[in-house]
Amino acid sequence: MTRFEPAGDAFLAASHAVSRRDSAAERGEAMPDYITIYPANADLIFLPYLKDYQPSKNDFKAIVEDRRTDRRYDTNDHLSLQQLSWFLWSTQGVTSYSIHRGITTRNVPSAGSRHPFETYLLINRVADLKAGLYHYVPQEHAIYLVNDSQEMIHAINASTFDQKQVITASVNFIWVAEVYRTSWRYQERAYRYLFIDAGHVCQNLYLAAESEGNAVCAIGAYKDDEANQALGLDGHEKFVIYMASVGKPLSD
């Protein structure tokens, strides 16, 4: 019996770094948007400023050592807007934007500074926010409500095989990959970078959550087609690449 999966072998073969084709960048094709495009009529909710913010736990060594995955959350606890602001800033916050280069730098590494992700939030319990699906606009450090229907909430949960923590979490992060942001430069190799980048982002969420007494459970087990459908994605140019639930862990 072979000790590799043919599908994985095919993925590696199809995403080799060396390509005989010119990239879209080399052909002079227009650069994709690297900042979030949002509806002109979106009611932006600007998040608390973080200049003087200090997390409740500010010892990096202790944060790294104490970080654990936890899927059992206190359903009586609500995240504050300040905590949500910190988590979003830690995972996709923009630190600079180059108009000349058309790209951002952020608080996580990304291949070629492409930053191919859009962050959606399935919010259950955050102070002063109604439950529903929100979209993060990093250049404004703001969010806006996309959909608050129970049908949509149930559809997202169902796509995760009805994992309980999606409902009991204070908030669920859903990262959507926009492939062309990375493939414009890196072609088929982009697909490897997308998944590497997703790991960087989720790890920062784990550390930021730990610094505020919260816990994370990364979610890789979900039905791709159902998750994409719930968010209105085509599954090719844009698709759900990773999820994570966040909440106050239950005391043992």
What is the per-residue pLDDT across 197-233, written as a single tens digit (0 to 9) for each? 999 999 999 999 999 999 999 999 999 999 999 999 9
What per-residue confidence (pLDDT) applies to 54? 95
Residue 153 has pLDDT above 90, yes or no: yes
Mean pLDDT of the chain: 94
Q: How confident is the model at residue 16 (pLDDT cuts 50, 70, 90)?
A: confident
Rounded to an integer, what distance in angstroms lies between the CA atom of residue 103 and that of residue 34? Answer: 6
The predicted pLDDT at position 77 comes to: 95
Residue 60's pLDDT is what?
Answer: 96
Residue 14: both structure tokens together: 């199809």
**Structure token pair of residue 15:** 């995403």
Backbone conformation region of residue 213, classed left if phi is above 0, alpha if psi is from -120 to 50, else beta:
left
Confidence grade of residue 252 (pLDDT, cut at 50, 70, 90)? low
CATH topology of domain 50-247: NADH Oxidase (3.40.109)
Q: How wide is the angle at C-alpha 250 spanned by C-alphas 249 and 252, nearest 5°?
A: 125
CA distances from 159 to 194, 225, 235 (A): 21, 8, 14
> Region 57-83: what's the mean pLDDT?
96
pLDDT band at 18 (very low <50, low <70, confident <90, very high): low
Q: Mean pLDDT, to the nearest integer, of 187-198? A: 96
Q: What is the pLDDT of residue 187?
A: 93
Rounded to whole angstroms, how far apart are CA atoms 25 and 113?
A: 14
Residue 55 and residue 140: Cα distance in Å, rounded?
21
Domain parsing of the chain, residue ranges: 50-247
Indicate the pLDDT class of residue 101, thresholds 50, 70 and 90: confident
For residue 90, pLDDT over 80 is answered with yes
Q: Is residue 22 very low, low, confident or very high in pLDDT (cuts 50, 70, 90)?
A: confident
How much is the average pLDDT of 87-103?
90
What number is the average pLDDT over the span 182-193? Answer: 94
